């Protein structure tokens, strides 16, 4: 009650979590592997690309020791594709989240974070020991992320890259304006998504919504859901009573059920 923070994560917290996303970098200097809590970073050898958490990549970028390779979905053509999908192909729903990465043999599996790769070289992976990762935890911001799909942390990552590694992003002015368009389109959909509550169905479909958009609209959507629930509370209570009475009638036989129904009508 006295906690000043709103429910859920605030935008700054979401941006902090986004810094754990893996991005691809092209190092300019050699750097030995660093042991971190989340695993060892790969040793950097200049012409070879490597996967790094965003926070470390931004640090190296600021020290001019690496360049960041922007993910494929941040390309202007990909963003324009997504906007086309949002406005023309499916004007009701959000564009779908990226599909799980496919392996070379055609089975759906996952791209492994760097520490997993290191571990799997040490010990042979057991068959069947392959936990599927859900979209927020996929390395979906690396250079080999699929184009045309917005990952969970799209807005935060794009903003961070444009702010700190703008010279690595191709056609950054265009990307900026496309991002603004995309944000507006999706914010309008977010407002419209609550319209589906009108019939009393009570389900808001939020598939494909990014973390920052959730943080932004959480208060509003929860407020609408709560308001609809309160308005329908009495109708819901009546419905439950009727259901309970109907069930009771079924158990005791038809005659008893009829008696209960007539009893109820007398009350009104």
- Contacts to another protein by CB under 8 A: 6, 10-12, 15, 159-160, 163, 187, 190-192, 194-195, 197-198, 200, 212, 215-220, 222-224, 227-228, 230-235, 238, 266-268
Q: Measured from the CB of residue 174, what is the shortest distance to another protein in angstroms?
A: 19
CA distance 26 to 49: 5
Residue 175: which of 80, 245, 102, 101 has the closest Cα? 80
CA distance 151 to 72: 11
Q: Measured from the CB of residue 247, what is the shortest distance to another protein in angstroms?
A: 21
227/250 with CB nearer another protein: 227
Question: What are 44's strand-pairing partners?
Answer: 31
Rg over CA atoms, the chain: 26
Q: Measured from the CB of residue 221, what is the shortest distance to another protein in angstroms?
A: 9
Q: Side by side, which strands form the sheet with 22-27?
A: 50-53, 22-27, 66-69
Q: Measured from the CB of residue 138, what is the shortest distance to another protein in angstroms?
A: 23
50/157 with CB nearer another protein: 157
74/138 with CB nearer another protein: 74
Residue 201 burial (C-beta neighbours within 10 Å; 0-12, 13-18, 19+): exposed
CA distance 211 to 229: 25
Listed in sequence order, the residues at least 6 apart from 50 whose beta carbon sits closer than 8 Å to its beta carbon are: 24, 25, 27, 41, 42, 44, 114
76/232 with CB nearer another protein: 232
Taking residue 74's Cβ as centre, other Cβ atoms within 10 Å add up to 24
Q: Measured from the CB of residue 97, what is the shortest distance to another protein in angstroms?
A: 20
170/223 with CB nearer another protein: 223
Q: Measured from the CB of residue 109, what is the shortest distance to another protein in angstroms?
A: 34
194/245 with CB nearer another protein: 194
């Amino acid at each position: 009650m006295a906690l000043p923070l709103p429910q859920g994560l605030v935008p700054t917290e979401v941006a902090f979590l986004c810094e754990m996303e893996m991005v691809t970098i092209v190092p300019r200097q050699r750097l030995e592997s660093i042991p971190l809590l989340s695993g060892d970073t790969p040793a950097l050898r200049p012409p070879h690309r490597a996967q790094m958490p965003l926070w470390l990549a931004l640090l190296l970028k600021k020290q001019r020791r690496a360049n960041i390779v922007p993910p494929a979905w941040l390309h202007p053509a990909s963003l324009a594709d997504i906007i086309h999908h949002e406005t023309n192909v499916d004007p009701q729903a959000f564009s779908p989240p990226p599909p799980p990465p496919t392996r070379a043999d055609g089975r759906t599996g996952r791209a492994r974070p760097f520490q997993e790769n290191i571990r799997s070289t040490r010990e042979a992976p057991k068959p069947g020991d392959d936990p599927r990762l859900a979209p927020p935890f996929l390395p979906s911001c690396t250079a080999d992320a699929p184009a045309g799909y917005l990952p969970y942390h799209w807005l935060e990552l794009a903003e961070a890259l444009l702010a700190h590694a703008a010279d690595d992003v191709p056609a950054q002015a265009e990307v900026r304006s496309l991002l603004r368009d995309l944000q507006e389109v999706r914010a309008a959909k977010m407002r419209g998504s609550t319209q589906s509550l009108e019939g009393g169905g009570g389900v808001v479909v939020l598939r494909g919504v990014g973390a920052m958009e959730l943080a932004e609209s959480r208060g509003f959507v929860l407020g609408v859901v709560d308001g609809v629930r309160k308005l329908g509370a009495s109708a819901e209570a009546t419905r439950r009573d009727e259901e309970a009475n109907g069930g009771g009638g079924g158990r005791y036989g038809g005659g008893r059920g009829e008696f209960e129904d007539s009893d109820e009508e007398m009350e009104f």
